[in-house]
Structure 1
Amino acid sequence: MKQKIRQDLKRVIAIAAFFCMLLWIVGELGVLVRPFDEDFDKWHYFYAEDKDTLNVAAIGSSSIYRYWIPTRAYEKYGFTSFMIAQSGQDIHTVPYIMEEAVKSQKVDLFIVETRQLVTYRTSEYKEQTDKEKQQYLFSTISAGMKPSFVRMRMIHDILQKDAGNPEIEWQIPLLKYHDNLLNGTWTEWKKRLTSGRDIYKSATQISKVEKQSETKIEPDGTLVLLEEDHQIIDEIVRTAEKLNTKILFIATPYIATKYRYPLQLQLDAYMEKKGYSYLNLNAEKKEIGLDLSTDFYNLYHTNIAGANKVTDYLAEYLSTHYRFENKLNSTQKKDWDTSVAAWKEKEAELLAQWEENCKEQE
């Protein structure tokens, strides 16, 4: 009898192991067949960094990745950073991103850019919310994230479910993106199968120039942040506390508009009321040294020249207000030094084009 029980138990364990392996293979294939677009690769490059080598993880949308240059901060102040940032990143995904990030990087600090909260509330007031686009932007976050309970919860909690948008396809991305097995060029597949780290450590800048100007805006009290907007900020703070990690909210510089500016002021006031660590760079354009005629490429983003200035200002602030331990061994330091050199070459190209674009604006 005991021998039969042991045999049955072995069969159960073998079957369970088989299905676990099958689920793992399906999950990994799902990540592999994600769409061929750079926003879908952000998680891949974050995971590729050596375990526990990052001091700072910066989370947000283009309102962070158009402003922050990790290699520049490392060269000047010695701390490492990386961005988990996708276009239009929904701020409601931030707590889940934080939980996923600490699995491979026990960072000293999370930076969370807050503008997407204001952007979303603005689009709601203007009745310009594009649900289909929101779903696509959400997919850039979920598709590249490794299979995990964190990912499952994020999809279940945030996904806009309807008959044409089944959750099962989001939970098992191989179902959602299986057509990509036959799509993509050989060059794209080769890059996906062989690429490791991002040589630029997540930096991505452009050289376009567009002159900007600001006018005084007087809020009339008709636009307000809702309680649910406050709640997501509070939830991000609770998540940081749960993970025993420091957090700094920031607002990067942009040109104020009649919709966004009143909401931004209310967000600033809420941060002050709650006593959260918050750096409003939008109010410090002059201190940063930003030139509205040369340092932006549209209302909402800096170009390479503006990003250099914002990075310098923010990096100095971080090095002054936070203590970052040296996490790199000699080999890892060489890797970062290589990335610094690579970005300098890229920066030189961007700045040369930026100078030409500035001349055209004259």
Structure 2
Amino acid sequence: MAKKGVILLNLGSPDSTDVEDVRTYLDQFLSDERVLDLNPIVRKLLLKLVILPRRPKESAEAYSKVWTDEGSPLIVTSVKQQKLVQENTDVPVYLAMRYGNPSTPDIVAEMKRDGIDDLLIIPLYPQYAMSSYETAVVELMEQLREQGMAEINTVLVQPFYKDPEYIDALWESIRPSYEGSGAHLMMSFHGIPQRHVKVTDPSHAHCLTTKDCCTTPHPAHGTCYSHQCYATAYALMAKGGLHHDDVTISFQSRLLKDPWLKPYTDFEIERLAKEGVKKLKVICPAFITDCLETLEEIAMEGKEQFLENGGEDFELIPCLNTHPAWINWLNNKIERWEP
């Protein structure tokens, strides 16, 4: 009889705010060809000569602003998610990070020791991107093969960016803070380089090439991060009865000087404040779990920018984290997978 297991996949975090730990993490993260998709020699030189000599210290300072007594917010909350899901199922639930710890290789080794031969894979990314969903899944599959588990049965949960039950859970987590507040709502998605969108377009002739590419039906949407972000936003707006004038959709976390998906969150925060928006609430629907990008980049830097430019009231609405509706969503996936 097959022994079942479930694995939750997320991005990861440094082991501490120590500069050397952050350097190790950034080296692993930015060495990934699906993240920094440059010529391997150029990527290595850029890392060793430009990014790693100075970026770790800056990032360590940023991480120190959000670090908790228990550790990294992303890891701490992810472990809580894992435990809550485990409380509602007899199937072993594992948690692995693409970078850092608990590492994917270590967790695959643990599953092998436990005799898992039927695996449900749940990447904790609502939208598909080669630098998040794809790289986490590829790393898992490579580790299964390298550790002699290539023959096990696997079921992969696809990006759930417009799954009605996910949208319901997302709205339930947002509604108490937003409904009746009179605030403008910003949906800030994690940004990716425009070239990533073009690379993941199997036709190489639709995404960011044709007019209204994100809203014109096309097979490329199955792997188009931009389309899936807008689909999440529009589904959430429909669920909450939100008017387009009351919502701004944007993209955050640019790196280097290449063109990334627009509009940029920091530009939009400044624009809204200067145009007279006094109350702004921000959600980050590309993230399931609050992390550096939400807690420092938005809740701290974004708030400061908004207030400096004339805004008066700024709030980051937390990610799904351990919201009961989200935990139920995960457990429902497991229940429907079980025979």
TM-score range, shorter chain: under 0.3
Taking structure 2 as the reference length, the TM-score comes to 0.28
Q: Which has the higher helix share?
A: 1
Taking structure 1 as the reference length, the TM-score comes to 0.27
Higher-Rg structure is: 1
Q: Which has the higher strand share?
A: 2
